[in-house]
Structure 1
Amino acid sequence: MKKNEAKSILNVPEKNKEELILDKWDEKLNDYNNYVKEYLMQYKKSLKGNSVSLSKYPYLKVKSESLSKKLNKGIKKELLTKKQLTKVFKIRKKIENACCN
């Protein structure tokens, strides 16, 4: 977070701070969902022998680890709402279903 952003958050009423925090997690969940879509698309292509999709694996792995680490940290600290937690588990279920079927 930049210094200017930190100052602007400090001047925001408490209710709006909570909304900003929830928005932050919503953005992370959107990033995670988009990542999963990309991963599944590349996964399916790689199963068909697409070498370009196979070459994207290292990038996807790093991104996966980063997103998972952030989300797990938020879950552990109980920063996500029930709705957000449900979304995380639905997204994870997509990967399980695609890879195990």
Structure 2
Amino acid sequence: MKKNETKSLLNVLEKNKEELILDKWDQKLNDYDNYVKEYLIHYKKSLKGNTLSLSRYPYLKVKSESLSKKLNKGIKKELLTKKQLTKVFKIRKKIVNACSN
């Protein structure tokens, strides 16, 4: 293989790796958004006295801690794009808004 072909192949592989990393974080953000939706549903139901929703809190707490830990680690290491960071803060804002009403 010629030098130019090798360089070109390495560039393609590097771009694919970057896309995979971005896709990984996009998936984690989707998981976090889905978690927040589930949490808010159970939060509202528990305010009305729904015992099933209240019983889900230990599970939701563990899930929240896991997702938050991963996202915070990615944020600290600056692995997320500006668009992804914006999405994180929008999702977190949903919780604050719902719980403050």
* Same fold, TM-score > 0.5, yes or no: yes
Structure with greater Cα Rg? 2
Percent identity of paired positions between Structure 1 and Structure 2: 89
Q: Which runs of 5+ in 2 are unaligned?
A: 1-11
* Matched positions, count: 90
Question: CA–CA distance in 2 between the matches of 1:96 and 1:51?
Answer: 23
Question: CA–CA distance in 2 between the matches of 1:70 and 1:13?
Answer: 25
How much is the aligned-residue C-alpha RMSD, in angstroms?
Answer: 0.7
Offset from partner CA, 1:66-101 (integer Å, 9 cap, x none): 000000000000000000000000000000000011
1:59 to 2:28 alignment = no
- The runs of 4+ residues in structure 1 deviating greater than 2 Å are none
Offset from partner CA, 1:36-79 (integer Å, 9 cap, x none): 00000000000000000000000000000000000000000000
Structure 1 residue matching 2:63: 3-state secondary structure: helix
1:76 to 2:76 alignment = yes
2:9 counterpart residue number = none
